[in-house]
Structure 1
Amino acid sequence: MAGQYRLAGGGETTDFRASWPLCRRWTGGWVAQLAAPSAERLGAGAEQVLWDVSTGSQARTAPNPDGEWTVVQRGPARLWDRDEQAVQRWQAAGEPHQEEFGITVSAAGQRVWLRSEDGPGWDLPI
């Protein structure tokens, strides 16, 4: 459970968000991973800890009695914000299945895109 993991000190911000299932569907979790490719997810159920192994950034979610979540973020990257924006972009596109995604790999970098190379996408580290 997330309660077993300690967050690093410093730079704490707390956001209150409406209930939002980060990984309600498998593809949603995959899209969230695209937004923070070096992050690992720890925990089970509603309590989750995201830990970016390259920056040390962390985010922890915990449910509130009123049906919302508290999100605590620490470190140089706001992991939850990145994940939330990526999943919202995917939801706005109608929550398409992975079959509608593609990838372009070139000397300039790697990019995962939705429906076409000039569609919504995520740049990946090389």
Structure 2
Amino acid sequence: MKLAVAMIGILVGADLALWFYDISYHLVTVVASWPEETAVLVGLLIVLIGALIGFWFVRQYRDEALVLASVALGTEIVYLTLGLSENSSFTAVLVLSVALAGVVVQYADYLRELKRAEKLGIANSLMP
């Protein structure tokens, strides 16, 4: 189970780092006028750092990090599936609404599970 959680952290961190890769690629190639090979190396470094941060975050804050990771990936899946425009205000409102709803629903379920476990006397096994 710990290996699966660690792998989720690495993959989610790398996936979120890909958002920053797009930004860095533009900055390195267009703004700084560096060659594309350098931009790719900078991008790989960003993805590696993102994977390590994701691994650390999930190891440190296991349940909360998994809630946030599933919200981030779920929101990304909804955005990509609907094929929404990147420049639309409607897209921004929809993505933020889906993310907020995901956090509220999953964290409320997590708190209910903690409360139920506390009543049963097994709270220590669920606490990080």
Normalised to the residue count of structure 2, the TM-score between the two structures is: 0.33
Q: Would you tell me which structure has more strand in proportion to its own residues?
A: 1
Larger of the two Rg values belongs to structure: 2
Normalised to the residue count of structure 1, the TM-score between the two structures is: 0.34
